[in-house]
Amino acid sequence: MAENVGNGDKNLENSVNNESAKPSDIKIPIGESESINSKQESENIPASTKHLNNSSGKNIRHYFFEFLMMFLAVFCGFMAENWREKLQEHKREKEFIDSLVEDLKSDILQSDIIFAQLKKTSASIDSVLYALSSPEVVENSNNVYDLWTKNLDIKAFVSNDRTFQQLKNSGELRLIRNKAVSDGIMKYDQILRNYYQQSNFMYSALSDQRIYSLLFDFISLSKNKNIPVPLTEQGKKSLNEAYAHLQLWNSGLLGLISWLKDVNNESKNLVIFIQDEYQIK
């Protein structure tokens, strides 16, 4: 019985000792606990701050990189579009230049023909003036009538300016980048306008048939081609006026020939210059 009690005491003591050894019952001093918590906080705070700083720096660099890429994409797109437009403009410039050269060559051919015809007309007018100054014209107007009727006509020169008019009316004359060529085109246009001004004056003078109708008896001349027909009475009185009128008209014709010669020379020079500047064969 006593042994049982002794064993019970030992068991109780062991049980008490075992319970006191549990971690939950271990007491940590307050000073040491605060020191441990402070150390943990001091270790955790810098790590968190470092993480935030790294994250913020990465975000800024990321946004800057995206902005840079977007800017480069827009800039490259703009440059590509600008380059494409420049290529298109250069292509159109070449097309206009080729067309302009063809127009000028056409002007050269036509002005050569008209120039020869106008010189022939001027020589014929000299013959009319010589016949009008002859004393026999009063009684025999047949020769003067034939010369006047057949030779008082001028052929019109009209420039093939389709390309230039298209450039001017559409505002695309700016496509001609070569300033010397552009100036040459404008100079040629000015010479053409001078020619047209003189040509209009000549046609206006030619349309005045008053003196021509006063000189001749058209009915008798048409019926009696082989019989001398005298000038009309009014024609005899107007003979001096007719001579002066025709002489003045011939002077205007010589001026027209001079302007057409300038057109012809300028068109030839301009073709050569453009071909040299744009390497056109």
pLDDT in tens, the chain (281 residues): 444 444 444 444 444 444 444 444 444 454 445 554 555 554 554 544 445 455 555 678 777 777 777 777 777 776 766 666 665 667 888 888 999 999 999 999 999 999 999 999 999 999 999 999 999 999 999 999 998 888 777 788 999 989 888 888 887 888 888 899 999 999 999 999 999 998 888 888 777 788 888 999 999 998 877 889 999 999 999 999 999 988 988 898 999 999 999 999 999 999 999 999 998 87
What is the value of pTM for the model shown?
0.67
Residue 275: both structure tokens together: 């071909």
Alpha-carbon torsion 256, 257, 260, 265, what sign? negative
Rounded to an integer, what distance in angstroms lies between the CA atom of residue 246 and that of residue 252? Answer: 10
What φ, ψ does residue 231 adopt, rounded to 5°?
A: -65, 155
Query: Looking up tokens 């810098």, which residue turns up?
Result: 46
What φ, ψ does residue 134 adopt, rounded to 5°?
A: -75, 140
Residue pair 214/232 in contact (Cβ under 8 Å)? The answer is: yes
State the Cα angle at 168 between 164 and 173, rounded to 5°.
85
Residue pair 105/264 in contact (Cβ under 8 Å)? The answer is: no
- Specify the amino acid at residue 123: A
Residue pair 205/250 in contact (Cβ under 8 Å)? The answer is: no
Residue 73: both structure tokens together: 């994409």
Query: Which residues, including other chains, have CB under 8 Å from residue 278's CB and lie 6 or more apart?
Result: 94, 97, 178, 181
